[in-house]
Structure 1
């Protein structure tokens, strides 16, 4: 599984700039300044065939002044436990403050996986005289001086990161017969109970596979001859202790890690409470990462008059989760073992769609019929032409179409082609599909 590297530090020490440098692109990140909290941001960093997930955190405040700061602080504290490495960023130009010492006290509990990074070091001589002696007092080892703004000494930092994190190669998994499944959802959605219900059907647990975190276990289960690798079952079995009113938070790092290492993401929704913003956000993370998805309304037995309300819930799904409307919807009860076999069938269906290949001849026959009814628009006085298309990848399916004016094809027409594929070739139930356009004169 892909290691997780956490960037932590007080506001205005250059966390976001360093994050952008390490992932080699610029992301729209809200500036850090005291009193403002924001969500953690995740991205993949790749170097020479190795990769890790990088997490940019919000600031931690010693005594939060409002509920949002309290939520942000607890998110980061939870992330400390789940990460493989922590980059503790301090100001190498202006020195330490009380916030830095507070963070250092927190991080000493996990000091074996902390790298102390002094950012904003433009002159090593000044840093060595004015700041370095103070950093040694933190008791977190030798600091690595860098300047993320001016791209100084980042090679040394990257080298140190790979020395500390578990080995992870970016090549595809070898065993194509194993379906990797992540069960995600809020803490009260019934993930643990549903997992136990699933593994109660003709199950044969083949092995426990250690993950990259100390307590992470991926469980390999065989059901009716098909092997499934359930990602991070330790995370399923552990209940969150972080509550804000009646809402329990996702363990964000753990959830993203499970999504990234899965083929099929099953979102469990508490059918009594309905779809929440957290549910939308986490299934959006799965969709953005190109994962197959299944929606399960769990605790269906607790819904009043549930046998007459299926259409109501399907309409709710279409309205609130329209961006994954290709996902199969299942109604389950872990307590009564309702819908478990249907859920496993839906996982199989989603995975089959996720790995499906469409013959080029079938794709272009459908494309030709579609363009006869809905020809491409005219742009800059010229008719856009789409010559042909072909599927170039699976997991998820990706199609490339060749055109004389690929940059001018409207988003609405691109969506129409996606809909054409699902309607006339294959519905790709449970799987996103992606289309790209490339230039070709004829």
Structure 2
């Protein structure tokens, strides 16, 4: 599980700018107007060999009774509930405000490791003009002067978070190793199929899970999940055991955020991290909306096998929709998950529900599969004969050798003379040929690496 850092604070203190700095890309809208960030934004990032997640919350105003700000407050509280560590972001130029104190008081009750980011400290001179001692009065202990916009002081703060959480370093990913080390049969994942049920509000997750667990008395028992607040159900279907995590049925906590029916991508993130297969429910009457795309993008980024479950299909059918038409329309809206299979269900009627489990078994076989190296290299040779690689710097790009270096998802390293010359178009061509050859409907990763030339031994001296 990736530790989750929640960025919390009143409006317009620079939380989104700090989020973008950590995420390494402009993932949040940044505008100098209070209240721009109304939902939570999420990103995974790697820091000094450790993987973390960060969530950017809306401006937190604990005393506001405005309806919009009340919703933002609930979203921020929910993020704090799920976070591993919390960063209170404040505006150094404005100094410590009563609202900052109010937010800090709420955060202290969370019992989480707490940090203060005194933002907008753009220079050492600026830092000298800001009374940092005032922020130590909050009792958090860790106070960091930084400029999210310019990157000043951000590294030191994240280093402190990593140290406080005592996060171990990860082993280097396969693509960074000197030579492609082929996967071993003994390392192939085995055991129960872990499947997460996710989806935005009102798509019918609870109805779907109830139908899934109720049919043919699949439920064996309820066992505590690997997260502190979820219940995983053990399901038996056609001789295969499944561990089903229902993100709609997670136990409520005693915070204000849990008093309302609100969608938590944070919880979905945890369930997705633990799963091999993610069943993402869409509402057939309004599928492919922005929140669907955001959630599906999260699944794709994490490299999980995906089933797109179109629920309420009974309603769409009555309105004349066909499955072929629907798949084509969603393919246009969601091209980044074109590899994923569709299953059309009516959770209310219990129709098509178990097809999700059947499809999950097929996907897991691909997700855990080992592909023979000779077969891979024969495919690599054939696809170049059919469509030669592009020319880079006056030389034809050549693909020499391919090996599978990881499972779940299947990951392949391809050695080349000029990997930097691989165009996006040719990368897609290679991926599509791999998919076609092996019938892959799961994510796969292709890593193009330069083949190192072997140094020739020195000539023998003639005696």
With the shorter chain as reference, the TM-score category is: 0.7 to 0.9
> Could you tell me whether the CA contact under 8 Å between 2:230 and 2:251 is conserved in 1?
no
TM-score by length of 2: 0.78
Note closer, same or farther for the CA distance 1:45–1:232 as it changes in structure 2 (3 Å cut): farther
How far did residue 152 of structure 1 move?
4.3
Shift of 1:16: 5.8
Question: Which of 301, 310, 321 is matched with 1:297 structurally?
Answer: 310
Find the aligned partners of 2:391 and 2:80 in 1 and give their Cα distance.
54
1:428 aligns with 2:428: no
What is the aligned partner in structure 1 of residue 235 from structure 2?
221
Q: Is the 8 A contact 2:87 2:117 kept in 1?
A: no
- Offset of residue 336 of structure 1: 1.8
Give the number of aligned pairs. Answer: 421
CA distance, structure 1, for counterparts of residue 451 and residue 169 of structure 2: 35
Change (3 A) 1:410 1:304: closer
Corresponding residue for residue 99 of structure 1: 99
Contact kept in structure 2, 1:192 and 1:236, CA below 8 Å: no
Task: From 124, 140, 143, give the equivalent of 2:141.
Answer: 143
In 2, Cα distance between equivalents of 1:258 and 1:36:
29
Compute the displacement of 1:161 (Å).
3.6
Q: Provide the residue aligned with 1:337 in structure 2.
A: 350
Moved more, 193-202 or 174-183: 174-183
Partner of 1:440: 451
Q: Does 1:198 align with 2:212?
A: yes
* 1:419 alignment counterpart: 432
Deviations 1:154-191 (A, max 9, x none): 544433344xxxx9996999973122211111221111
Contact 1:40 1:58 survives alignment (8 Å): no
Contact conserved, 2:311 with 2:344, CA < 8 A, in 1? yes
Distance 1:218 1:428, change over 3 A: same
Q: 1:51, 1:193 → 2: CA distance? A: 35
In 1, Cα distance between equivalents of 2:318 and 2:189: 44
**Residues of 2 paired with 1:405 and 1:131: CA distance?**
52
Moved more, 63-72 or 223-232: 63-72
Residues 262-316 of structure 1: CA distance to partner in whole angstroms, max 9, x if unpaired? 2111111111233322111111110111111001111222334378722222222
Q: Do structure 1's residue 387 and structure 2's residue 400 form an aligned pair?
A: yes
Deviation at 1:249, TM superposition (A): 6.0
Indicate the residue corresponding to 1:186 in structure 2.
Answer: 200
Deviation, 1:11, is: 5.2
Of 364, 370, 376, 1:351 maps to: 364
Q: Answer whether contact 1:209 1:220 (CA < 8 A) is retained.
A: no
Q: Which stretch has the larger CA shift, 193-202 or 303-312?
A: 303-312
Structure 1 residue 102 displacement after superposition = 3.8
Bigger drift between 54-63 and 335-344 goes to: 54-63
Inter-partner Cα distance in structure 2 for 1:237 and 1:333: 25
Contact 1:11/1:32, CA 8 A, preserved across alignment: no
Aligned residue number for residue 43 of structure 2 = 42
State the distance in 2 between where 1:228 and 1:168 align.
30
The Cα of 1:371 is off from its aligned counterpart by 1.4
Q: CA deviation at 1:383?
A: 1.4
How far apart are the structure 1 equivalents of 2:321 and 2:156? 64
* Residues 5 and 53, structure 2, Cα contact 8 Å, conserved in 1: yes
Alpha-carbon distance in structure 1 between the residues aligned to 2:42 and 2:416: 35
The yes-or-no answer on 1:260 pairing with 2:258 is no
In 1: Cα distance, 2:384 partner to 2:81 partner = 54
Q: Is the 2:118–2:145 Cα contact (8 Å) retained in structure 1?
A: yes
Q: Residues 134-170 of structure 1: CA distance to partner in whole angstroms, max 9, x if unpaired?
A: 653x5xx3431223423446544433344xxxx9996
What is the deviation of 1:56? 3.0
Using the alignment, how far apart are the partners of 2:393 and 2:312 within structure 1?
Answer: 55
Change (3 A) 1:118 1:128: farther
Q: CA deviation at 1:353?
A: 1.5
Moved more, 272-281 or 57-66: 57-66
Using the alignment, how far apart are the partners of 1:304 and 1:154 within structure 2?
Answer: 51
Aligned to 2:184: none
Aligned pairs (5 A) from 1:368-407: 368-407=381-420
**Partner SS for 1:330:** strand
- Is there any run of 5+ residues in structure 1 with no aligned partner, and where? 243-247
Deviations 1:240-275 (A, max 9, x none): x99xxxxx8631211222222221111111112333
Aligned-pair CA distance for 1:237: 7.5
**C-alpha offsets along residues 405-424 of structure 1, whole Å, 9 cap, x if unaligned?**
1101111011001111111x
Among 279, 290, 300, the alignment partner of 1:287 is: 300
TM-score by length of 1: 0.81
**How far did 1:225 drift?**
2.9
Q: What corresponds to 1:272 in structure 2?
A: 285
Report if aligned partners of 2:198, 2:247 keep a CA contact under 8 Å in 1.
no
Could you tell me how far apart the structure 1 residues matched to 2:264 and 2:44 are?
17
Is the alpha carbon distance of 1:272 and 1:101 closer, same or farther for their aligned partners in structure 2, counting shifts above 3 Å? same
In structure 2, relative to structure 1, the CA distance for the partners of 1:99 and 1:127 (3 Å cut) is: farther
Residues 154/389 of structure 1: CA separation in 2 closer, same or farther (3 Å cut): closer
